Amino acid sequence: MIPFFTLLRREVARFLKVAVQTVITPFVSSGLYILVFGVSLGANIQLESGVSYLAFLIPGLMMLGILNNAFQNSSSSIVNAKFTGELEDLRVVPVSRSQLIWALSFGSVVRGSVVGLITYFVGGVFLYLQEGVWLSIAHPLELIFFVVVSGLIFGKLGIFAAFYAKTFDQLSAVSAFVILPLTYLGGVFISIQHLSPFWQQVASLNPLLYLINGLRHAILGESDVQVLPAILLSLIGLVLFHILARISCARGSFHRW
């Protein structure tokens, strides 16, 4: 386990070294999202469940930060290592593919968890100032499950994309044209109950809907989907992206193109 923990410690130290980019920027972004959507516009939005829109928004923003930062952490780590030549060294050191994949994945979980925790506290402060109540956590074990599994899934997605990517632009394209639309359409800002029946069916095909609403159920105690299907689909996604990450590690490029 020494190679695994060494790589994991390196990953955590790497993103903490640029904390302004990896921690402070999400802090500012979360505050702006909550201020504009939750505080300014949320006062005019009524949800059928009776939960305030600001409380509804916070778990969605948490998951948005977790997924984006988990993907960016593992993918940027690999691509940077490609361009500096460090990734080639991993072929000659006693580190297995599984150790490399899991170390990068858990490094992504740590970064995503930090961003998610920051978003939770920022949102909690706004909620307390607006409504005089703190955002409690209804199901702590569910919260841990969805944070860890979601971070692992997108950490492995970042590994898969980065081993095949030739440039930083290709990684940006994955983030901009795949991850971002799916997260926004996965119920971060809206409840699918407000959609027409047709678009509810379309939204139910979005796998991120289940991750976002799984975390929402963990915090609020209610969501647009049942929690058991969300847990099952999360585990299926974890297995699938672990397989893809192993394939990319075996067949992808370790050197700069």
Question: What pLDDT, in 10s, does the model give residues 203-246?
Answer: 888 889 999 999 999 999 888 888 999 999 999 999 999 999 99
Greater pLDDT, 256 or 77: 77
Mean pLDDT, residues 5-33 taken together: 84
The backbone torsions φ and ψ at residue 18, rounded to the nearest 5 degrees and listed phi first, read: -115, 55
Of 118 and 42, the structure prediction assigns the larger pLDDT to: 118
Nearest one of 241, 235, 210, 246 to 225, comparing CA atoms: 210
Average pLDDT, the chain: 85
∠247-152-182 over CA atoms, to 5°?
90
Q: Which amino acid is at 21?
A: Q
- Per-residue pLDDT, averaged over 53-80, amounts to 90
Q: Give the integer Cα–Cα distance in Å for 252 and 76.
A: 15
pLDDT of residue 154: 95
Q: What is the pLDDT of residue 142?
A: 94
Question: Is residue 85 predicted with pLDDT exceeding 90?
Answer: no
Indicate if the pLDDT at residue 146 is higher than 90.
Answer: yes
